[in-house]
Amino acid sequence: MSAAPGRAPSVPDGSGPSALDGAVWRTVGDPLVAGAPEGPLRGLTVAVKDLFAVAGHRVGAGNPTWLRDARTEPEHAHAVADLLRGGASVRGIARTDELAYSVVGDNAHYGTPPNGAAPGAMPGGSSSGPASAVATGQVDVGLGSDTAGSIRVPASWQGLWGLRTTHGLVPRDGMLPLASSFDTVGWLVRDAATLAAVASWCLGPPGGPGLAPGSGRDPVLAPGRRLRLRVPAEVVAAADPSVADAFAALLDGWRAAGVADVETVEVGPLDRWFDAFRTVQGAEAWRVDGPWVTAHPGALGPALAERFAAAAAVTAADEARARADLDRLRADLRAVVTDALLVLPTTPGPAPARDAGAAELARVRAATLPTTALAGVGGLPALSVPLLTVPTVRGPAPVGVCLVGPASSDLDLVRAGAALAAAGGTVRTRTTGVERDAAKETR
């Protein structure tokens, strides 16, 4: 079976069902589900986040009690079936953070998957298993979900390309919900060519879904045109100094290469964005999962139990106020990307240490979510591109750069990300300053 043209090869890992890493995988096959014999994704292998229905298997949601009581699924989730129709094969069902209500990548029941780019660091979540499977070369594509950053955070921390699709663009049939106002489908891959192949197949041809509405191509992303990029000042101010320095150097490189015009904008206090997001997310998560949580005392890990306790305390008045704020903030953000792309560090810093304590992980989560909430509030597509490398006590570690575009501009956002990556190379910060790798072709 030949590989899809232009994609990076999988790294042979010698693993199979008998060598299953239970922190990464719930189950694997050879393959678990074969794809169509022909199609543009023929030869690609997929890790499916354990939130999506795979026919003949149960959905486990990262919790053993949930898995025990789950039914066997009679059919594939839409997002799974789409990949199979394109010729990709499902290698296995990969772990998720518990009930997908986390972004750091740990799981109190099954352990923490490895970080394929930064050994000794957390993998990011909640699409932790698919991300680690891709980053360690066990599969080509991770199928995941993104509510508050569950594609973008692991992409940033593991040096992957990660696309959160426009809210509602990809049907969520067969995917367990968390907060339906923000839940989206997304993919994690190692290179731009694979992401372009997957997104083009799943989102449709140019002019269809995945392209900004209106006649012809969206002028923001038209070929040959200098991209107009807007940098939210509040996000950069919240980033670690090493990330802010590397990000500034990257923007300078794009200006010098003549591929982008860059301006700074203000979006307002990030806490305002996150407070509105968190309140509505909590209210919806409790409506979806609260009855199950109440009926299964002690089934959740400590951090998630605390999170659901906070969700249960959201009142109807709290939710109504937050939804009114969300409507205003969404309109504001969509106005910013009407004629430009938002560009920002995907996460404020690199992945925390794998042995970090609960307090440190809570701090990282609290610092990260106000940044990732922007795209969620807007319902907009967001692409994390692996363009920054910063120093840590464990060695160099990746941090992504996120592009946020107009609603339904997903395919052109992927093309813009590939063009910017080719023009700018990778920027690394060292304790003594900033250096830039030579620009490299990503096709």
**Is-contact 410 166, C-beta < 8 A?**
yes
Q: Could you confirm whether 440 is annotated as catalytic?
A: no
Q: Could you confirm whether 215 is annotated as catalytic?
A: no
Selecting among 10, 150, 156, 200, the annotated active-site residue is: 150
How many contiguous H segments (helices) and E segments (strands) does the chain have?
A: 12, 13
Give me the helices (H) in 74-151, please: 78-85, 128-135
Give me the helices (H) in 152-211, please: 152-158, 192-203
CA trace torsion 15, 16, 21, 22 (10° rounding)? 180
Q: Could you confirm whether 126 is annotated as catalytic?
A: yes
Peptide bond into 242 cis (omega under 30): no
- CA–CA–CA angle 242, 247, 253 (5° rounding): 130
Selecting among 126, 128, 132, 145, the annotated active-site residue is: 126
H or E segment and range at residue 89: strand 89-94
CA separation for the pair 231, 219 (Å, rounded) = 19
Residues in CB range of 111: below 8 A, 6 or more apart: 22, 23
DSSP state of 188: E
Q: Is 439 exposed, middle or buried (0-12, 13-18, 19+ CB in 10 A)?
A: middle
DSSP state of 165: P
Residues in CB range of 137: below 8 A, 6 or more apart: 10, 11, 12, 13, 116, 190
Q: Closest Cα to residue 181, out of 190, 192, 168?
A: 168
Selecting among 10, 49, 128, 409, the annotated active-site residue is: 49
CA separation for the pair 66, 388 (Å, rounded) = 38
**Three-class secondary structure of residue 152 per DSSP:** helix
Q: Hey, which residues are catalytic here?
A: 49, 126, 150
